[in-house]
Amino acid sequence: MTTDRKFDVLIVGAGMVGATAACLLARSGFSVAILEAREPQVFDSTKAVGLRVSAFSPGAQAILTEAGAWRQIEQQRHRPYRRMRVEDRDESVVIAFSAPEFGLERLGTIIENQLVQWSLWQTLQAMGGVEIICPDQLEALDYENDEPVVRLSSGRSVQCRLLVGADGANSKVRRMLGIDQKHWEYGQQGIVSVVETAKPNPGIAWQRFAEGGPLAFLPLQDGTSSIVWSRPEAEARRLLELDDAAFCAELEQAAAGESQAWPGTICACGPRAAFPLTMQLSHCYAASRAVLIGDAAHVVHPLAGQGVNLGLLDAAGLAEVLVAARSHQADIYSEKTLRKFARWRRSEVEVMARGIHGIRGLFMPEVLAPLRRFGLGLVARSWIAKEAFIKRAAGKNRNAPALARGVALTDLLRAPSS
C-alpha cells in the first residue's frame, strides 16, 4: 500500500478532545495529522446560546491553555462560577461548595461546546506540525511493518506510528480495533434548554435530585441558565411536545423548594432538545499502536458534568506519557508505553464513572431516601469529603495529568531524561 507521508500520530476526530490532543502533541514536537469529516461551524456570538454547553473544570481550563485555545475562548461569552449547590429532592440536605474554600479561583466555567471546538480548530490551523485532513473519512485500517495505515474515503492512505481514536461514542476506530464495551441504558433522556428566571442566575451551578432524575441549572453570561433535566423517556417526549408556557410551569414546579430561594419563577425558555442517557466503558483503551480517548473510550452520565473534562484529561495524559517515554529514550509507541497510558486513564475514569453510576442509583428509588439523606449529611458536614470531591471534579487530584494540575507544557518538555 502506497502512502504519501508518515506521521508520528494520526488522530481520527477533531472534536474538542481530538483537537486538544492534536494541539498538545504538535506543541510537544510530534508530527500530527488529524482527520475530520466536516469543518466545525463558525462560532457567532450574535446568535442565541447553543443547546450544548459544558462545565469546564479548572483542570480542563489549564489543559486548554496549554493547547493554545483558552485565550480565544475567554474573549467570547462564557460564565465562570464560584459556587455550587446540591440539594436532595426535599431540601432536607444541602451541600454547598465555594471556590475560595478550596483555594480555587473558580469551580468551573460554562462554555458552549461550539465555541470551544471552533477555537481549537482555529488554533490547529494556525500552528505548524499539524496536517488537517478535512473533509475526509476513515474507510479501513491495515498494518504495514506493524504500523497503522489508514485508508480514507478520498482514496488517500495515511501511515502513522500511533493511531488515536477520538471519534465519539460510536467510534469506528474502536470497532476496527475490536475493543468491546460495557453499555448501560438508563431509560432516561436529558432535556436541554436555555431558560430565563425572574431573578437572574447569580453565578451558581445548582442541582436538585428531583423525583425521576436530577435537574441542573448552569449559569450563562447574561443571567439565564442552561438546564439539563433527566426524565424517563416517555416523560421526556411529553415535555418536549408542550408549549413553552406549559413547559416552564412544569419546570418551575420541579425546581421549587420549601425555601422559595432561587431559581424561583421560570419566565421563558428557548428551543428544547433531548439526548439519551447512557454509560459506556471500554474494556481497554489501547490496542496495537492505537489508543482511544474521550467518548470513543468512555461515556458517562451527565450527573456530575464530567464527560468532556474526562476526555481532556485523556488528551493531556496521552501527551504526558508520550513525552516522558521520549525523554527516557524508550520506544514511544510500544505496547508497554501505551499500556501505561491505558491503565492510568481507565482506572481514573472508572472511579468517576462508577461513582456517578452509584450516586444516580442511590437517588432514584424513594425507599433509599433515609440512607441517601444520611450519606449526604455526612458529606455536607465533612470538609475532607467535600475537598476530595472538589479536587477530583476540578481535575486537580494528585493522580491527574500534570497539565491539569498547572504544570506548563514547556516544563514537561524540559523534564530530565534520567
| Residues 342-362: tens digit of each pLDDT | 999 999 998 887 766 555 554
Q: Which residues contact 368 (CB under 8 A, 6 or more apart)?
A: 362
Please check whether residue 58 is in contact with residue 104, taking contact to mean a CB–CB distance below 8 angstroms: yes
> Does pLDDT of 1 surpass 50?
no
Q: What is the number of helices (H) and of strands (E) in the chain? A: 12, 20
Q: Which residues contact 286 (CB under 8 A, 6 or more apart)?
A: 292, 335, 338, 339, 341, 342
Please check whether residue 110 is in contact with residue 54, taking contact to mean a CB–CB distance below 8 angstroms: yes
Please check whether residue 304 is in contact with residue 214, taking contact to mean a CB–CB distance below 8 angstroms: no
Count of CB atoms within 10 A of residue 38's CB? 10
Residues 359-407: pLDDT tens digits? 555 445 454 455 555 555 555 555 456 777 788 888 898 999 999 999 9
The pLDDT value recorded for residue 94 is 81
Residue carrying C-alpha cell 490532543: 21
Whole-angstrom distance, CA of residue 162 vs CA of residue 333: 6
Helix then strand then coil, in percent of the chain rounded to 5, is: 40, 30, 35
> Does pLDDT of 146 surpass 80?
yes
What type of residue is 130?
V
Q: Which residues contact 126 (CB under 8 A, 6 or more apart)?
A: none
Work out whether the CA dihedral 230, 373, 310, 340 comes out positive or negative.
Answer: negative
Work out whether the CA dihedral 329, 334, 336, 339 comes out positive or negative.
Answer: positive
Q: How much of the chain exceeds pLDDT 70, in percent?
A: 88
Bridge partners of 202, per DSSP, are none
What type of residue is 274?
A
> Does pLDDT of 304 surpass 90?
no
Q: How far is CA 408 from CA 21, 66, 86, in A?
A: 15, 7, 33
DSSP letter assigned to residue 396: -
Please check whether residue 414 is in contact with residue 326, taking contact to mean a CB–CB distance below 8 angstroms: no
Bridge partners of 144, per DSSP, are 147
Q: Tell me the three cell numbers of residue 231.
A: 426524565
The pLDDT value recorded for residue 418 is 42
Q: Tell me the three cell numbers of residue 409.
A: 507544557
SS3 label, residue 114: helix
The pLDDT value recorded for residue 204 is 94
Beta strands 6-12 and 32-35, pairing class: parallel
* Helix extents (H) in 178-286: 233-241, 244-255
Q: Tell me the three cell numbers of residue 74.
A: 475567554
The pLDDT value recorded for residue 381 is 57
Residues 318-327: pLDDT tens digits? 999 999 999 9
Task: State the average pLDDT for the chain.
Answer: 89
Whole-angstrom distance, CA of residue 144 vs CA of residue 248: 58
Q: Which of 4 and 3 is assigned the larger pLDDT?
A: 4
Residues 152-164: pLDDT tens digits? 999 999 999 999 9
Residue 263: asked if its preceding bond is cis (omega within 30°), the reply is yes
Mean pLDDT value of segment 240-268:
88
Q: Which of 49 and 93 is assigned the larger pLDDT?
A: 49
Domains and CATH numbers, the chain: 6-79+105-183+278-365+394-413 (3.50.50.60)
Please check whether residue 97 is in contact with residue 82, taking contact to mean a CB–CB distance below 8 angstroms: no
